[in-house]
Structure 1
Amino acid sequence: MIDIHPFKAWRPRPELVEQIACVPYDVIDTDEARILAEGRPDSFLHVIRPEIDLPEDVDLYSNAVYHTGASNLKMMQDNGILVQDEQPGLYLYQQQMGTHTQTGLFACVSVRDYDENRILKHELTRPDKEDDRTRHILTQRAHAEPVMLTFKSTGAITGLTNRTLSASDPVYSFTASDGVIHRVWKVEEPGAFVDAFRDVEKLYVADGHHRCKSASRVAEKLREGDYGDDEFEFFPAVIIPMDEMRILAYNRIVKVVPEGFPEKLGAAFELRPDVHPVPQSPGKVSLYMAGRWYGIDLPESTSSDVVEQLDVSRLHRHLLLPLLGIENQRTDPNIGFVGGIRGTEELERLVDSGKAQLAVSMYPTSIGELMAVSDNDQLMPPKSTWFEPKLRSGLLVHTF
């Protein structure tokens, strides 16, 4: 039974939504954020990447950064750039990227459901990133960005979603700079969704593991005092049915390969030259080196362990570790990761420019594999999934 919590969202005036909405904090670095926010004083990047309003040499984890973000959020509220709903509510958030469309319920979910494993994780969180998000949330007294969750939908939820979409026009509809269309509808009968989600046993974290963990840490801290209400016990999420989720590959580059690597590769695998850069089925991998694409087949896993059966695990066991000496993908500086949205052209560019000597194009992890790992209370290897389209930040903000 999942607890869905309507909330009094702070949201943009309709005429400003396109100027305010921005990419999530964790898909760009500070330099990219400065460029995107240039000439856009109302961009929500000033809240989630507040270092862009400070000198370039600022410590990203200094108090000044967190307080600037809180000040920028308050300014947007005080100046009417963001306006708060009078009553708690729910929304539907739809994204259209080319021929792909996904629609999720934008609601708050319960920290308790996360703590008690009704919201399942699949990724290891880093304490330093947890600390960063926790400080952002506490200083701003807000969950500025939603997490992306997925679930096995029910007929009741599908019916409610379709009726909501057809009953009225969206409160927001705009096309972002990357061509993705974003639409938001206000749910007229939030209680019906609350009731319907009581029949859902569990949700799965797709994107936003650090935000989930940080929301839990914030709630744990604020329970110690007399805060006044329990709104901090909830955090915002967009909950998308599993059959609408789109996972792209998370590809790899290796900066330097050891001497004799091509010969060792040829001895370990049957190399197929001039293959398609994008693998067409699970277990197949495309490699780019010295200006040419090659294909290999990963050996089948003999383990019943769902993590060991993943392509990313088999790649590590049969290629990255024995042939390249990469033991820990989280910490080894010789390996890099390239989201599938950048395409195989980016892999070719990195190798051809000399920034890497080997590129690895993967077949995407499936949503079923992600759920199986989560159901087993296991963790995926690093950089196993890349979800597209990404949720925009600044559309609906939860405060406490």
Structure 2
Amino acid sequence: MDEFTTVKNPKGKSDIWRHFGLQKSKITQKLIDNTAVCMKCDMVIKCSGGGTSNLSAHIRRHHPSLLSSAKSLKSSSKTTTADVHVDQKQSETVSLPTIPKLFASKYASSSDRSKLITNKIARFLVKDLRPYSMVESPEFKDLISCLDPRYTVPGRKVFSERIIPEMYESAKENVKLNLKNAEQVSLTTDGWTSCATESYMTVTSSHITDSWELKNFVLQTRALPESHTAVHVTAVLNAAVEEWALPTGHGKPTLVTDNASNMVKAGELFGSLHLGCYAHTLNIAVQKCLSVKRASHLLAKIRRIVAFFHRSNIANNILQVKAEALGLPQHKLIIDVSTRWNSAYDMVSRFLEMQVAV
């Protein structure tokens, strides 16, 4: 096995060679290329092409006391231009902060990146109908921090009082521009009650563009705590026409509502062509037919059976077992709704499908 001795580098011009030597074979008496030996700890260091970056890095890591000044650090990497860049890179690598320190600096709220993420969150809240409180959820904040630790989620007030209202105003101006270019617009409206027993009234618009494209917009949903009389409904409609600057060159917009008496009266007070909703009119006609004695008795019997299975989990589970044994689909029974005539058809069809299992 070959043995080596450590000798000074005769060609070493950098001060760093004061701390390193070269390996010399005792047998061949030749110097070993591309390696150096630390005089302090006898560690063999690679130094390809005579570069000193690895040597400097070794001294900084393991023997910082040997570096008397910053000047000696600088002079230790002067051999070639390439070595300087490599040495600087190595120095930066050694002094890199940890991951938490790297992301310690947060985006400014006015930065482009912060604005982009904030707008994306606002769009998510609007499109998915999410509550404002979601942005203050610890789990949501943890998710955003995982995706981008430098971003800080604004509070709910920022979204509710500034960002989303700004989005609304922008969308509103776009809708008004579309309506301004329409020759004539028709309106539909109806009142409804939320789960919190709060009354609202929604107004939508429809028009056809010059290129025969149908455009529909939900213009507004307004609280209507008063009783839904014709006078109050008319007041909401008139306010909508004024707020959205609807075209009235051919008279007020055509109004489409259900056939309730207050809506019929509101159509008269509004002073435009009023049409009853076709689907509502059809439902009234069909319900009249279904109220015939023989039909209503049959539907009542099926409805009682279906309601029984809807109330009892045990009965519903037995029904599914029977259906599987008979090779029938694993379908649940459907109960009809008085406001949708086709639900009676769906109820009877599903009952006939599952009749043997029932």
TM bucket (normalised to shorter chain) is under 0.3
Q: Report the TM-score when normalising by structure 1.
A: 0.19
- Please give the TM-score of this superposition, normalised by the length of structure 2: 0.21
In terms of fraction of residues, the more strand-rich structure is 1
